[in-house]
A and B are shown apart, each in its own frame.
Chain A
Amino acid sequence: MNPQEIWIALSTIVRKEVRRFTRIWVQTLIPPAITMALYFVIFGSLIGSRIGQMGGFDYMSYIVPGLIMMSVITNSYSNVVSSFFSAKFQHQIEELLVSPTPNWVILVGYLIGGMCRGLMVGMVVTALSLFFTKLHIAHLGITLAIILLTSLLFSLGGFINAIFARSFDDISIVPTFVLTPLTYLGGVFYSIQLLPEFWQNVSMANPILYMVNSFRYGILGVSDINVGFAFAMILVFVVALFMFALYLLKHSKGLRT
Chain B
Amino acid sequence: MTQALTIRGLKKTYPNGFEALKGIDLSVEQGDFFGLLGPNGAGKSTTLNIITSLVRKSSGQVKVFEYDIDEDFSNAKKNLGVVPQEFNFNQFDKVFDVVATQAGFYGIPRNIVVERTEKYLKKLGLWDKRDTNSRMLSGGMKRRLMIARALVHEPKILILDEPTAGVDIELRRSMWEFLREINASGTTIILTTHYLEEAESLCRNLAIIDQGRIVQDSSTKDLLRQLNTETFIFDVEGNVPAAFKIAGFDTERLDEHSFEVRVNSGQHINEAFDRLSEQGIKVTSMRNKANRLEELFVSLVAKNNAEETP
A257→B55 contact, CB < 8 A: yes
A170 interfacial contact with B, CB 8 Å: no
In the bound complex, do residue B101 and residue A16 qualify as a contact, i.e. CB atoms below 8 Å apart? yes
Q: Is there contact, CB below 8 Å, between B89 and A99?
A: no
A257 touches B77 (CB 8 A): no
Interface flags, B77-93, vs A, CB<8A=1, else 0: 11010101010111110
Which secondary structure characterizes the binding site on chain B?
loop
Does A94 lie within 8 Å of B74, measured CB to CB?
A: no
> Is there a chain B Cβ closer than 8 Å to A27's Cβ?
no
Chain B neighbourhood of A91, CB < 8 A: 84, 86, 88
Once A91-B86, A100-B78 are accepted as A-B contacts, the answer to whether A8 and B109 lie under 8 Å apart by CB is yes
Shortest B240–chain A CB gap in Å is 53
| Whole-angstrom CA separation of A91 from B90 in the bound complex | 9
Expressed in whole angstroms, the Cα–Cα distance for A102 and B86 within the complex equals 24
Q: How far is the CA of A98 from the CA of B64 in the complex (A)?
A: 14
Q: How many residues of A contact B (CB 8 A)?
A: 31
Given contacts A5-B107, A8-B104, A9-B104, contact A95 B54 (CB under 8 A): no
Query: Does residue B178 face the partner (Cβ distance < 8 Å to A)?
Result: no
B56 part of interface (Cβ distance < 8 Å): yes
Q: Is B108 an interface residue (CB 8 A)?
A: yes
- From A7, A12, A94, A102, give the contact of B101 (CB < 8 A): A12
Tell me the minimal C-beta distance from B242 to chain A in angstroms: 57
A99 to B79 CA separation, bound complex (whole angstroms): 10
Asked if A98 and B54 sit within 8 Å, CB to CB, the answer is: yes
Most central of A9, A94, A98, A256 by chain B CB within 10 Å: A98
A253 CB–B CB distance under 8 Å: yes
- Cβ contact within 8 Å between B14 and A96: no
A256:B106 contact, CB within 8 angstroms: no
Q: Are B104 and A12 in contact (CB under 8 A)?
A: yes
User: What CA separation (Å) do A8 and B153 show in the bound complex?
Assistant: 13
Point out which of A12, A19, A101 has the most chain B C-beta atoms below 10 A from its C-beta. A12
B304 CB contacts on chain A under 8 angstroms = none
Docked Cα-Cα span, A100 to B55, in Å, equals 15
Q: Which B residues lie within 8 Å of A4 (CB)?
A: 107, 109
If A8-B107, A91-B84 are given as contacts, then 17 extra A-B residue pairs at C-beta distance below 8 Å, sorted by A number, are: A5-B108, A6-B107, A7-B107, A8-B108, A9-B107, A19-B97, A90-B91, A92-B89, A95-B89, A97-B54, A100-B73, A100-B75, A101-B106, A257-B15, A257-B54, A257-B55, A257-B56
The contact sample of 29 A-B pairs, CB cut-off 8 A, is A4-B107, A4-B109, A5-B106, A5-B108, A8-B110, A9-B107, A12-B101, A16-B101, A23-B92, A87-B90, A90-B88, A90-B90, A90-B91, A91-B86, A91-B88, A92-B89, A94-B82, A94-B88, A95-B89, A95-B105, A98-B54, A100-B105, A100-B107, A101-B106, A102-B74, A256-B53, A256-B54, A256-B56, A257-B54
